[in-house]
Amino acid sequence: MPMYVYQCDTCGVTFERRQRMTEPPLVDCPECDGHVHRVIQPVGIVFKGSGFYVTDNRSRSSTALPGKKESESKNEGDKGSDAKSTAPEKPSPPKSD
């Protein structure tokens, strides 16, 4: 049987009740007879099997940005680190005195 959490709208008390899934939800607070509502609780999920981890069944190309080839994404990373060196430097002419 599942455990349900309820909270009173009037006094704010929070309590748990074990109920069957077919039972209607509670409407009255046991403390003040005010209106109660069921509080949604997070559920623990366990993924079993292969394919749920980043390292499972992933090729190198699937980690690249969508719409770009693998070689383009590698070259893009190099552009930002050395933006000035796109044109070769010309040697300065020798000074004549």
Instruction: For the chain, 97 residues long, give each residue's pLDDT as a single digit of tens.
Output: 889 999 999 999 999 999 998 999 999 999 999 999 999 988 777 777 766 666 655 566 655 556 555 555 555 555 555 555 565 666 677 776 5
Cα distance between the two ends of the chain:
100
Tokens encoding 76: 């893009």
pLDDT value at residue 48: 73
Cβ 27 vs Cβ 35: under 8 Å: yes
Q: What is the pTM of this model?
A: 0.45
CA 17 to centroid of chain Cα atoms: 32
